[in-house]
Every structure is written in C-alpha cells, then in structure tokens.
A and B are shown apart, each in its own frame.
Chain A
Amino acid sequence: MERKIFLKSLFIGAVSAPAVLAACGKESDAVTPSTTDTTGGTTGGTTSCAVAPTETEGPFPTKVPASYVRSDITDGRAGYKMTATITITNTNNGCAALAGALVDIWHCDAEGNYSEYGGSGMQSVNYTGVHFLRGRQTTDSNGQVTFTSIFPGWYSGRATHMHVHVYAANGTSLKVTQIAFPEGAGSAVAAVNGYKKGLTGYTANATDNVFRDGVTQELATVTGNLTDGFQLAISFGVAA
C-alpha cells in the first residue's frame, strides 16, 4: 500500500516536472508524446478549420428602421383599443407645430408589464413581438403622430401613464415626459377598471410620485368607451 502511494507520487512528480525529464537525454522519449500532444492540440485547435459557406449569395440585406418605427404597437397584446394622437409644438417658435420630430412612446400592458429584459445572462427571446407596446413615429406637418395601442393597465405605486420621449430630427433628445390619464367617475380609467385587477390599491394622480406636482401639462384628453375603444389626445411643447 505504502509502495503504491510512493509510486503514485513518483508518477505525479514525473508528470508535473517534464522539464526535469527533458533535461535527461535518456528519458526524452517519455517526453515526446506530451510534445506531440501539444502540437496535435494546436493543429486541432484551429477549429476554424470548417467548410466555408459555398452557396448562392443572399438574401441581400437592406436597410430597415428599428422595429419601433410603426403606428400599431399592439403586437397581439389583449386590451381595449386605444388610438393616441400626440401633437408636438415648438416653444421656441411661438408653439408652432414641430414637423420631423421623432416621438417614442412606451407603456405597460393590461397586466401592468412592460416589454423588457435584462439581467440574467442566459435569457434569450423570440425575435417576434419582443418590443410590444413600444413605438416611434415622425411628426407630420401638423406636428402630429398617431399610434394604435391598447389602454394601459396599471401596476403598484403608479397611476395609469404612458412614457414619451421626443427627439429632434437629428436625434437630439428634446423632452422625456409622461402622459397622465383623467380619473374618477366617468373617466376611461374608471371604465376599464384596471382590467382583471380592479382598482384596489390604485395610485391616483394626486399621490403619484411623478404626477403629484400637478398634471396640467401632462393630462391627456381621453374619450370613447369599452366597445368602440378610446381616443387619447395630448399636446407637448418642446424647445427645438
């Protein structure tokens, strides 16, 4: 038993000290296999040694806008239809309509979830529909953009809202803001009633962290009903 351990330790010593063996001419044969291994490993390590593509070229890539650029941002999310018309005016030009501005909007779905991912490194997603309820449009000569979406749900701690980011035509950020919704009796928020959630625990505009300083600039006009859908309209002034 002791002899076995001794032999084993000798063996380990030999493996971990090839330089010593190499120094001894007589033992050089014993080292050769390991040298061959290394060489073999290097050759085999050229794993890019794979067949190159050999087939008809194509499909030819063409320039496409980001998948945000669209009017209908629903992407199959269930909810009451809502058409949002946003008008951008230029406060540096007497609040005239600002044409050519980029308007990004995003909001949560009926359950209160945003399209997003992040964090965990192994997470992959199907490339269809991953950016639901996010969109980008360029303002027309009236400074207007129109999106087709669903009425947003709500989540704990926030009143119903939509996010808006306005950029100049050259991409410079002009305004990051949010749209607030009228609430109370007769409002769309009351009619939708938080979808399946109800409105228990709902945060009203007056106690919302973002809106409690007043919503005069951010409060949209919302008309319509559950059957025909809702129409949202709001105007934002930006310094362009």
Chain B
Amino acid sequence: MPDRIITLCYRKVIGASSVQPWEKLVFEDTYQEFRLQAQLYNPEHRYRTFAELVQQAPGADQLPFLVSAAARGYLQQLRGLVPDVVNNLGKHFLKFSQFQFEIITSDLQDKARHQVAISFYSEPLRWHDTVGSLLLVSEAAGPAATEEVLTNMISLQPYLSIHSLHQLA
C-alpha cells in the first residue's frame, strides 16, 4: 500500500454526566460563558434554549465562537495532545493544534441540558499500513519512510475518524 497522509478528528462530547476533572471544568465554564454571551442576543429574555436562539435571534450563530473562549485555556492545558485517544501501548501521542468547538444543546435555566463538543484535528500522519484493526502511522513531518521512522499503532474507536486523506504519488 502506498503511503497516505491523513489527519484524524476526535470529537469529544462533554455534558452534565462527564466525570473527568478537565471535562467538568470545560462544562462549568462554557455554560457560564454561554449564559453571559447569550444575553447579547436575548435582551428581552424571550429565548431559553440554544436552539431557540440560533433559530430566532439574528447573529446568535456566533455563540459557539464566543463561548469557545471559555474552553481555550483548557485546550492549552492539554499541551498539544488529543485527550482520550491512545496508541496500542496505552499512551497519548496524537498531536493537534486545530480544534472546533460546538454547542450541541444548552438551556439558560437548566444546566443539566448543557452539552458541548470539541473536535480535535490531528497534525498530519503518514499511514503506512493496516495491521489487523490497527492503523500503522508516523508523523508526516518526520523523515521519509525510506529511513527508519518511529511509528504508532492506533485503533479506530467511537468518535475518532479519518478527517482528511492525501494519496501520495
């Protein structure tokens, strides 16, 4: 199989039932920021949910961007490594610098209904081969495959997907 350059996307959904400390902080702070920023589009308190705001209030589609500022500091705490996704040795290895923040649902009066997602887009990987259900990959920024390269083996799992593909000639 000729090498291919891929990027992976891991979409991490965070809600009231999230248990990790990092997730809880993101949950709390993005809810607070949502309540702050939503007032910009809701001066008469006519809307209660994120869905209502986006559908009824002009400009409210900016809310995910505005609320994402509350998550940014927590992204920096990850030190450039995608959370949760580990290689077959059980170690985090997937580097990222690109992300996307979404508000899935939220309710100005019911925190339990607040749910957000952060998609992490990995740095480019060279996909050498597939061994069983594991992808054999190395960092695309590393040396060409004609030399010895350090590799990682990773299994595709829920919420982890190949986001882009570039077939090398």
> Given known contacts A66-B29, A127-B72, A130-B68, is B157 in contact with A47 (CB within 8 Å)?
yes
B40 CB contacts on chain A under 8 angstroms: 165, 173, 176
Listed stretches A7-15, A52-60, A79-87, A229-237; interface member: A52-60
| A-B Cβ contacts below 8 A, count | 112
Select the residue from B21, B22, B39, B119 with max chain A CB neighbours within 10 A. Answer: B39
Instruction: Return A69 CB to nearest CB of chain B, in Å.
Output: 9
Q: Which of B70, B74, B156 contacts A61 (CB 8 A)?
A: B74
**Chain A 97-125 per-residue mask, 1 if CB under 8 angstroms from chain B, else 0:** 00000100000000000001111000111
- Residues of chain B within 8 A (CB-CB) of A195 are none
In contact, A124 and B119 (Cβ under 8 angstroms): yes
Chain A, Cβ-Cβ closest to B23: A61
B32 contacts A by Cβ under 8 Å: yes
- A127 touches which one: B36, B76, B84 (CB < 8 A)? B76
Q: Tell me the minimal C-beta distance from A128 to chain B in angstroms.
A: 8
Which size class do B's interface residues fall under? 35 or more
Instruction: Bits for A28-72, please: 1 = Cβ < 8 Å to B, else 0.
Output: 000000000000000010011111111100011111111110000
Query: Contact check: which of A50, A53, A60, A167 meets B155 at CB < 8 Å?
Result: A50
Any chain B CB within 8 A of the CB of A161?
no
> With contacts A47-B156, A124-B119, A127-B72 known, is A116 near B22, CB below 8 A?
no
Query: A66, B43: Cβ atoms under 8 Å?
Result: no
List, in ascending order, chain B residues with CB within 8 A of A227's CB: none
A131 at the interface (CB under 8 A from B): yes
Known contacts A54-B91, A124-B100, A171-B35: A176-B72 contact under CB 8 Å = no
Pairwise interchain contact A50-B91, C-beta atoms closer than 8 A = no
User: Shortest CB–CB separation between residue B78 and chain A, in angstroms?
Assistant: 8
- Does B36 contact A50, Cβ atoms closer than 8 Å? no
Asked if B89 is an interface residue, CB under 8 A from chain A, the answer is yes
Q: How far is the CB of B165 from chain A (nearest CB, A)?
A: 14
B46 at the interface (CB under 8 A from A): no
Tell me if A51 and B36 are in contact (CB < 8 A): no
Give A11 to B91 CA distance when docked, in angstroms.
48
* Contact pick for A47, options B35, B77, B155, CB 8 Å: B155
A127→B95 CA distance, assembly (Å): 13
Residues in A whose Cβ lies below 8 Å from that of B65: 116-118
Quick one: given A50-B86, A51-B86, A127-B99, are A64 and B62 in contact (CB under 8 Å)?
Answer: no
Binding site for A on B (CB under 8 A): 21-22, 25, 29, 32-33, 35-36, 39-40, 43, 61-62, 64-65, 68-70, 72-79, 84, 86-92, 97-100, 119, 121, 133, 155-158
Q: Which 7 A-B pairs have the closest CB atoms?
A: A64-B73, A54-B90, A173-B39, A67-B72, A124-B98, A61-B22, A66-B70
Task: Write 12 A-B pairs (CB below 8 A) sorted by A numbering.
Answer: A50-B88, A52-B86, A53-B86, A59-B78, A66-B70, A125-B100, A127-B76, A127-B99, A128-B97, A131-B72, A165-B40, A173-B39
Q: A66-B70, A131-B69 are in contact. List 4 more A-B contacts (CB 8 A).
A: A61-B22, A66-B72, A116-B65, A127-B98
